[in-house]
Amino acid sequence: AQRVTQPEKLLSVFKGAPVELKCNYSYSGSPELFWYVQYSRQRLQLLLRHISRESIKGFTADLNKGETSFHLKKPFAQEEDSAMYYCALKSYTGANSKLTFGKGITLSVRP
Amino acid sequence: DSGVTQTPKHLITATGQRVTLRCSPRSGDLSVYWYQQSLDQGLQFLIHYYNGEERAKGNILERFSAQQFPDLHSELNLSSLELGDSALYFCASSVGTGPHEKLFFGSGTQLSVL
């Protein structure tokens, strides 16, 4: 069965500090991974996909199949990065798919 | 605004009752996902519909059921409600497939069972 683990519930850093939000997954198939973000009083929204290999708002995430990880990183945190972050894994059963989320981590960036 | 509409925004009801949550996806999106969010469990996948057909089921209780109608809106029915069913219920519609899929979430329905 597929599983997404975000081991920490809260990460608090000062503005300008590096950030790494951890995500580990368990899945027997080829993983498709995503990070979603929920800013205060806003809807959950896609931040980035592993397939895109892009940087969004300064965040990057590299899929490491050996370590089954998809950690989200940003070299210099900004106050506006404060939000709830969810790692998600897409899994398939035949042609059917579902997106499984981790429990999320709250990132707090202090001035 | 993601374009996904959920009604009602808040629902307060009593144990043993039945409620229906409604979701209208973005125009043209064929997929609808339902999730339950609680403090201890995070976002739990309930069910996925694509163009009226059930595609995948997650941790959805037998007391819960869902359907997607020909106009693509979806309803989540919760019956014999228990205190533990109190949670935020999200729906999402999506565009793209496979690793390119992007979900658009509604603002959720906050269900309180008293």
Give per-residue pLDDT as tens, B65-112: 999 999 999 999 999 999 999 999 999 998 877 778 888 999 999 999
DSSP B56-105: EE-S--TTEEEEE-TTS-EEEEE-S--GGG-EEEEEEEEES-GGG-EEEE
Long-range interactions of B106-109: CB distance < 8 A, separation 24+: B106/A43, B106/B2, B106/B4, B106/B5, B106/B6, B106/B23, B107/A43, B107/B6, B107/B9, B108/B6, B108/B9, B108/B37, B109/B6, B109/B7, B109/B8, B109/B9, B109/B10, B109/B11, B109/B21
Mutate to test the interface with B, among A5, A34, A41, A43 (most CBs of B within 10 A): A43
Residue B13 burial class via C-beta count within 10 angstroms: exposed 0-12, middle 13-18, buried 19 and up: middle
User: A51 and B45: CB-CB below 8 Å?
Assistant: no
Q: Check if A51 contacts B (Cβ < 8 Å).
A: yes
Residues of A in contact with B107 (CB under 8 A): 43
What per-residue confidence (pLDDT) applies to B38? 86
Greater pLDDT, B14 or A96 = B14
What per-residue confidence (pLDDT) applies to A92? 85
**Distance (Å) from the alpha carbon of B79 to chain A's nearest alpha carbon:** 24
Token pair in block for residue B23: 């979701």
- The answer, yes or no, to whether residue B40 has pLDDT greater than 80, is no
Strand partners, A20: A73
Say how far apart CA A61 and CA A33 lie, in whole Å.
10
Which of A40-54, A65-79, B10-24 is least confident?
A: A40-54
Q: What angle do CA B42, A3, A21 make, to 5 degrees?
A: 65
Quick one: pLDDT band at residue A91, thresholds 50, 70, 90?
A: confident
What per-residue confidence (pLDDT) applies to A51? 84
What per-residue confidence (pLDDT) applies to B73? 96
What would you report as the CA-atom Rg of chain A, rounded to the nearest whole angstrom?
A: 14
What per-residue confidence (pLDDT) applies to B101? 82
- The answer, yes or no, to whether residue A98 has pLDDT greater than 90, is no
Token pair in block for residue B87: 């949670």
What percent of chain A clears pLDDT 70, i.e. is strictly above it?
A: 100
What per-residue confidence (pLDDT) applies to A55? 86
Q: Give the mean pLDDT of chain B.
A: 92
Q: Check if A99 contacts B (Cβ < 8 Å).
A: yes
Greater pLDDT, B100 or B27 = B27
Query: How many interface pairs between A and B have CB atoms less than 8 angstroms apart?
Result: 60
Residues of A in contact with B99 (CB under 8 A): 32, 49-51, 90
Strand partners, B43: B37
Q: Check if B88 contacts A (Cβ < 8 Å).
A: no
A70 contacts A26 by C-beta, under 8 angstroms: no
User: B43 and A101: CB-CB below 8 Å?
Assistant: yes
What per-residue confidence (pLDDT) applies to A52? 82
What per-residue confidence (pLDDT) applies to B15? 97
